[in-house]
Amino acid sequence: MSGNHSSTASLAALRDTVMADRALLSRLSTIADQEAVLDELMAVASANKISVDSGTVRQAMKEELASVHEGELSDEELEMVAAGTRSDAPKIDGGGKRRPSSGPA
């Protein structure tokens, strides 16, 4: 169990280090290849004496990407946001009074 705790603590330390460095964040955001991102993160860990193995960082990257994708909006939702509408939002008539939503527009 202590190995898992140590991995979690090391990942947290690496994440904190990365998040505190705006230039590093900017550089990482321009790298398209996940292996190159992993290499960069491992170099940051080494430079900051954070002991974490590449497999642990790779798994954390996969989990982070999965959670980001779960929170993404569909094309339809993006269009509704851009138009300033929601299909389930109450409608407001010309006099400023709310009227029930008629469902998806």
DSSP annotation string for the chain: -HHHHHHHHHHHHHHHHHHT-HHHHHHHHT---HHHHHHHHHHHHHHTT----HHHHHHHHHHHHHHHHHTPPPHHHHHHHHHT--TTSPEE-TTS-EE---S--
Top pLDDT among 101 and 47 is at: 47
Structure tokens at 91: 């409608």
Sign of torsion over alpha carbons 35, 22, 43, 1? negative
* pLDDT for residue 48: 96
Model confidence, pTM? 0.61
**Residue 49: pLDDT over 90:** yes
Average pLDDT, rounded, for the chain: 78
